[in-house]
Each structure stands twice: as structure tokens, then as C-alpha cells.
Structure 1
Amino acid sequence: MNEQQNLNETDYLKNLTIASEIYLNKKEIPTAVLLNLVPDNDAEFEVYYGTTYPDHKLSETGFFYNTSQLIFEQVTAHKNNDFYLPSLQLISYADGEFAEIFIEYLKIIIEMDKQKFCAAVREEKYRSYNPIKYYFEMNHCK
């Protein structure tokens, strides 16, 4: 299991490196690369959020916030269904300084189609995480 997790973290880091190079060159990040920025676990999220740390080369660029926004806009503005569950997964990490913007996008996603949100979250593991859990219950999803 540890070997598989290390492999996944390495793959994640490779994708993050590709995305950051594209971002720093002010080019459009391909949707496949953007989609793979969504962390699958806490370790990957730590790598992604780690780009905001003062000692990281991306800390002054807004990479984390801007790419998160791009991921959410794939659902909210572009109606790209491939990003629907990944967006909710990313939102499940809402905490601290970025929680407010993540929750704002969650509200937009719910407003777009409450039934779709309820159906999607009903089956997903991140339903137990706030703010997903809170909005699942608040919207009387069953």
C-alpha cells in the first residue's frame, strides 16, 4: 500500500510540476492537467497547498488560488461535467484562509442543480467532510 501511495504522490508531483511550468509561462493549463491537480488524498492536498508556503517558488504567484478557481470554473462557468465530482472533492478540503472562496463555489454548484449535488454527494466518501456534510444536510438531501 505504501509503495502505491508513493507512486501516486510522485505522479501527482509530476503533474503539479507540469501545471506550474505552464502557469508560470502564462499559458492555458490543459483540462487534463488541471483535472489531475485535484488531490486524491491528504498527502496530495498537502503538496498542492504547499505551493502557498513562503519557501515554495510558487508562493508569490497565486498558483494554488488561481488553479483552484480554474477547477471550480470548469463546473460553474464551462459546465464541464468531468470536473463536477473533482470540484466537490477539492471543496471537501475547505479550511482556513481559502475556506470562504471554496464554500462560495460550493453554493454556486448547489444552486446550479441541487438534485445533482444531492445525488452526487449521496454516494461519495467526502460527504462526511465539512463543508460538504453541512450543505448536504442543510439542503435536506437524502
Structure 2
Amino acid sequence: MKYIQTLILVLSITFGFSNLSVAQNLSSYSENLNKACDFYMNEKKIPKSILLNLVPKNYDEFEKYYETTYADIELAKTDFFYETTEKIFNEVIENNNEDFYLPSLKLASFADGEYAEGFIEKLELIIKMDEKKFCKSIKDKDYANLNPIEYYAKLHNCE
């Protein structure tokens, strides 16, 4: 037992708990992403719990998600990335699903490049549904200072 405790201490000093945690989280994210891909490729409805967990918590996870569009993989021949992000946003916009509200804002915070316009359009629709809710929801969130969230927070005078 003493050996294991020493090993854990050495590993935590060498690699840092945060690096280990990031690796575990990315592995967990990858597992969920693979499940979603399997459902999608087999033309089955992706369960909401899996869809919800497709929303990246950080840029490493987003990169993993966006890699599904890279030309060198089979999934890139599909619209997996675009269709699943659309489903996530539409859970809020069309179904008024509260479980997806904050995750949709988080997803919108990754707006960049070729998909930015679509993400921003969805964000605008969500804000239009309830501007006060948007302002209240982003308060103290890590993504509140990221564009386009920050831009719309200023535009709508969120405090």
C-alpha cells in the first residue's frame, strides 16, 4: 500500500493531477463521441444523454469533436458534426429543453471558422427567446468572456 501511495505522489508531481484529469476527461469524451458516431452511422437516434455529452467542455474536446469533419476519416463523408450540433441547439430552440440550455451556450462559445455563422445564428435565436434568461445564465460562466458570448452579452447589456 505504501508503494502505491508513493507511486501516486510521484505521478502527481511528475504529471500533475490536472494533466491526469484532462486525459481522463478526454478519454471519457472520446468514448461518448464514439457512441454517438455509432448511433449516427447505424442511422439510429442518438439518445439525448449522449447528445448532451457531445457538448465539449474545453478546446481539447472540441478539437476531438471537430475532427469528425477531417477528410481522412469515414465520418467526414457525412454531416455528423453539423447535424449533431444542430440537434443540440434545436433541443433548446424547438423543444425548449432546459437540460440543453447552458450546454448550447457553451457550444456557441466555440463559434469559429466555417461553422461560426451557423452557431451564431442559433445563439441569436436562443437569446431572442428570452434575453433576460441569457444574461442571467452566462453570469460567472467560464465562457462568458469568449466571443460570440461576450459580444452578445455587451450588446444586450448583460451585467
Aligned residues: 142
Q: How far, CA to CA, are the matches of 2:139 and 2:153 in structure 1?
A: 8
Q: CA offsets, 1:61-112, max 9 Å, x none? A: 1100000000000100011101001000000000010000000000000000
- In structure 2, which of residues 63, 68, 73 is the aligned counterpart of residue 56 of structure 1? 73
Instruction: Tell me the secondary structure at the aligned position of residue 141 of structure 1.
Output: coil
Q: How far, CA to CA, are the matches of 2:96 and 2:141 in structure 1?
A: 20
Q: Which residue of 2 aligns with 1:67?
A: 84
- Bigger Rg over Cα: 2
Say if 2:147 is the partner of 1:130.
yes
Q: How far, CA to CA, are the matches of 1:70 and 1:99 in structure 2?
A: 16
Instruction: Tell me the secondary structure at the aligned position of residue 127 of structure 1.
Output: coil
Q: How far, CA to CA, are the matches of 1:57 and 1:7 in structure 2?
A: 26
Q: Which residue of 1 aligns with 2:49?
A: 32
- Structure 1 runs not aligned, ≥5 long: none
Residue type matched to 1:65 in 2?
A: Y
Q: How far, CA to CA, are the matches of 2:152 and 2:97 in structure 1?
A: 22
Cα distance, 1:60 vs structure 2 = 1.1
Q: How far, CA to CA, are the matches of 2:140 and 2:43 in structure 1?
A: 37
Say if 2:63 is the partner of 1:12.
no
Q: CA offsets, 1:5-43, max 9 Å, x none? A: 111111100000000000011111100000000001110
- Structure 2 runs not aligned, ≥5 long: 1-17
Q: 106-115 vs 55-64, which deviates more? A: 55-64
Q: CA offsets, 1:117-142, max 9 Å, x none? A: 00001221101100000000001111
More contact order relative to length (CA 8 Å, sep ≥ 6): 1
Q: How far, CA to CA, are the matches of 1:56 and 1:91 in structure 2?
A: 25
Structure 1 stretches of 4+ with a deviation exceeding 6 A read: none
Q: What TM-score, normalized to structure 2?
A: 0.88
Say if 2:69 is the partner of 1:83.
no
Cα distance, 1:57 vs structure 2 = 1.9
Query: What fraction of aligned residue pairs are identical, expressed as a percent?
Result: 49
Cα distance, 1:56 vs structure 2 = 2.0
Q: What TM-score, normalized to structure 1?
A: 0.98
